[in-house]
Amino acid sequence: LVWSIWRHLRTTALRTVYLRQLYFSGAQSTWLVVLSGASLAVVLNALIRQQYGRSSEFTLHLLASIGLEYIAPVFLSLLVIARSASAIASELAAMQVNGEIRLLRRHGISPYEYLVAPRVVGLIAGCVLLFGFFALGALFTGALLATPLHPLATLERLAVTQGLGPVRAGLLRCAMFGTVIGLTASLLGLNAPRLTTEIPRAASRAVVMSLLLVLLANAVAAFA
């Protein structure tokens, strides 16, 4: 599979499939995710300052540890499930209904390599990319709320004290959730029966199943 992906990335006509997926699942949601990260920082800051009387700098530390490691991957997964899982499943189910999958098979093109692999790789890359933007939005807003005049200096101090542990853990979770969502949505869409009525059913099944599997994977990852 890795060889096949590498071969496709080197061919212009096939590379576009990967780039399109990365664009739709990652780049298109950038601003939404940056704003969500900023809003999480504002909410956490307000809650912890008002209810527990702790400083904004403490909130920033909390945001960098718990926020990035636990909240961000689940939140981003929900966003990706809502935007991409249903779209992927319904697109592949429609391709099945229109006979496009059968055409690919008859031409000797594996739908798993041509359709599923780019979507999974695109979703993994998209989730990782979105995590970066979410972290950027959350941490910068948190730092701005803690020290409005020197946010960058506060972020530097935070990087020294916290290290890269939470970011690494968050990235790993995002990659894992991206794989789960990509595989679930693609396989449910690809294996949908050849009936028009199955297209919305495939989309809805993909959303529910991806959600369940992500929550399950999150619970398993919490123990790991």
Partner 1 sequence: VSPPRGLPVWWLCPDEAAGAGLLDALSLDARRRREGLSIIDSVGTGISNLSVAENILLPSAWHASTEALRPEVLRWLSGYYTEPALKTFLAARSSGLSSRERQRQAVARAIQSDARCVLFDDDSHAHERWIDEWRAAIETGLPDARIQAVSVRRPSSPERWCLRAACEHRTAA
Of 11-19, 47-55, 57-65, 123-131, the segment contacting partner 1 by CB under 8 A is: 11-19
Write the interaction track for partner 1 spanning residues 72-111; mark x where CB under 8 A is met and - where it is not.
-------------------x--xx--xxx-xxxxxxxx--
157: left (phi over 0), alpha (psi -120 to 50) or beta: alpha
- Tokens representing residue 185 in the block: 């949505």
In the set 58, 70, 112, 114, which binds partner 1 (CB under 8 A)? 114
Least distance CB 161 / partner 1 (angstroms): 48
Write the interaction track for partner 1 spanning residues 36-75; mark x where CB under 8 A is met and - where it is not.
----------------------------------------
C-alpha to C-alpha distance for 110 and 152, rounded to whole angstroms: 49
Alpha-carbon distance values, 2 to 7, 127, 134, 192 (Å):
9, 19, 29, 26
Phi and psi of 89, rounded to 5°? -65, -45
List the end-to-end C-alpha distance of the chain, in Å, as a whole number. Answer: 27
Of 13-21, 128-136, 156-164, 177-185, the segment contacting partner 1 by CB under 8 A is: 13-21
- In the complex with partner 1, which residue's Cβ is closer, 39 or 98? 98
Residue in the block written with tokens 């929550």: 215
Which residues are near partner 1 by CB under 8 A?
7, 10-14, 16, 91, 94-95, 98-100, 102-109, 114
